[in-house]
Amino acid sequence: MSKESLLAAIRNQTAKICVMGLGQVGLPTALTFSEVGFDVAGYDINEKLLSSLNSKQVPFEEMNLGNLLNSCMEKRKFRTNSNLEECVKNSDVIIVCVATPLTNDIKPDLSSLEKACQSLSKTSLKNKLVIIESSIPPGTFVGLIVPTLRKQNKTGIDFWVAFVPERLAPGQALIEIRTTHRIIGHIDDDSGILAKTLYEKIVDSQILMTPVQIAEVSKLIENTYRDVNIAFANEVGLICEKYGIDAAELIRVCNSHPRVKILQPGPGVGGPCLPKDPYLLLNPQDSLSIESKIILESRKINDNMPYHTVSLVTDSLKEQNKKLSESTVLVLGTAYKANVSDTRLSPAREIITQLIKSGCNVFVYDPKTVETFDGKKVSNISDVLNTCDVAVLVTDHDEFKKLDVKEFQKMRKEPILVDTRRIFQKNQAESLGIHYLSIGYAKNLKHK
Ligand code: SAJ
């Protein structure tokens, strides 16, 4: 197959695709290509995951993913395969979506990606297109990925390779794969054109071509930009608490300016991307770390928010002369954000850990996940509310938004509600005698 015949096979959707890594990016990507008509094989080193997919079970919460898995498997357009060599041999396009987490000392851990590329390099890549979607430290594409893949194949001659960073927000994956503009980072024109033609099949938005060095940094800057902006919102929340004013009202007023768009203060920043990508950005492949005060300070601010949330609980209990060790706290939500089951780096972990450390009895309820971070699991909050002194809303799941704030009146005398996501009406809560607190809405408020 020459470049022209691979291009034609992509255009008429007869090209066969293999997706390596079937996590929160790989699985939605594989199923979206299969939905538009490509034959897709999914490979993962986790055999348990493959067998759960074979029985049409999606291992994490993602809107409509279960239905799509079902229909793609029924149409025989998607299947799993635990034999990578076979998968690669039978494919024209290989899309790599393996995780690139951090090590314990907060440095990029590229071991899975390196292993994936090494495995790929053992099979002939002749006439194939390899796409990397995983987030990578700048310099990794040319410094590590291409040399690893090139062992027995020449890029741009024998095979083609491009970096197409994923941009989907978990929870909205299937929508965002199609609606978000995509970036193609290329090292040669042919690879760029092949990758663009492929993504045009699933993306209803713009596809921007750029040198791979720009694409690598752009992915990390996007998430760092959001992290820094959330840190600013959190700092605004803390300043409001010092002034005794309500951050939600302040932000509503400020955001009426055409060039101001402050985000929401909250209990902290979690998930597989935002707490990690600033460190990928500042730790380039094979060179010294880069210093950035604003980025590292923002990370610190966001990492401190779970502790601040706990201080809202402890301070308000103290005001009521209640002993922490004799109090019971109900934590609502362990997922890192609304309507997902993912608890990676969730602020709930530190909140629950600190509360338990202070001697509190901690009940935990999350309708999307079984994770409790060592708190006591609750299956129905009305079973425990009457034994609780404080409720801390950490995740703004839709199920919690449907709760009537009156429910919190069932808590013990002088109930405290720490609504870190501002999903309840504070006036209503207060009129019911509930002591209402949030990030940027603490004690001694100077206005109504
Ligand atoms: N958060 C706040 N306040 C806000 C917004 C978010 O505290 O105003 C918190 C959330 O509660 C959560 C964390 O930030 O704990 C991250 O949530 P998120 O919705 O901002 O983002 P992710 O991590 O789910 O997805 C991000 C997205 N990146 C950007 O919006 C720039 C997504 O588009 C990326 O594809 C994804 O990272 C990724 O995989 O890199």
**What values do phi and psi take at 192, rounded to 5?**
-60, -45
Atom of ligand 1 nearest to the CA of 266: 7
Determine the pLDDT at residue 156: 64
Residue 254's CB is within 10 A of a number of other CB atoms, namely 13
The answer to whether 426 touches 441, Cβ cutoff 8 Å, is yes
For ligand 1, what atom is nearest to the CA of residue 180? 33
- The domain of 145 spans 3-205
Indicate if 53 and 106 belong to the same structural domain. yes
Look up residue 182 and give its amino acid: R
pLDDT of residue 1: 64
Residue 444, pLDDT > 80, answer: no
Residues 128, 219, 368, 426: which is the catalytic one?
A: 219
Query: Mean pLDDT throughout 59-64?
Result: 94
Statement: residue 59 has pLDDT above 70: yes
What confidence score (pLDDT) does residue 446 get? 75
- Average pLDDT for 234-256: 97
Kindly state the average pLDDT of the residues 103-121. 96
Query: Comparing C-alpha atoms, which of 344, 359, 348, 272 is closest to residue 305?
Result: 348
Please state, as a whole number, how many other Cβ atoms lie within 10 Å of the Cβ of residue 53: 22
Task: Note the pTM of the prediction, 2 decimals.
Answer: 0.96
Q: Quick one: 288 and 421 in the same domain? A: yes
Total number of domains in the chain: 2
CATH of the domain at 336: 3.40.50.720
The catalytic position among 72, 87, 240, 273 is 273
- Whether the pLDDT of residue 15 is over 70: the answer is yes
Sequence-distant (6+) residues with CB within 8 A of 238 are 265, 308, 439, 440
Residue 157 has pLDDT above 90, yes or no: no
- Which residue lies with its CA nearest to atom 22 of ligand 1? 169
Q: Which residues line ligand 1 (CB under 6 A)?
A: 166-170, 222-223, 226, 230, 233, 263-264, 266, 269-271, 273-274, 336-337
Q: How far is CA 300 from the centre of its chain?
A: 19
Instruction: Say which residues have a Cβ less than 8 Å from residue 90's Cβ, sequence separation at least 6.
Output: 16, 18, 41
Query: Do 260 and 306 belong together in one domain?
Result: yes
Mean pLDDT for all residues in the chain: 96
- The answer to whether residue 273 is catalytic is yes
List, as one string, the DSSP characters of 332-393: E--SSSTT----TT-HHHHHHHHHHHTT-EEEEE-TT----TTSEE-S-GGGTGGG-SEEEE
Q: Is residue 229 part of a domain?
A: no
Q: How far is the CA of 169 from the centre of ligand 1 (A)?
A: 7
Residue among 153, 17, 150, 37 nearest 96 (CA): 17
Is 121 in the same domain as 268? Answer: no
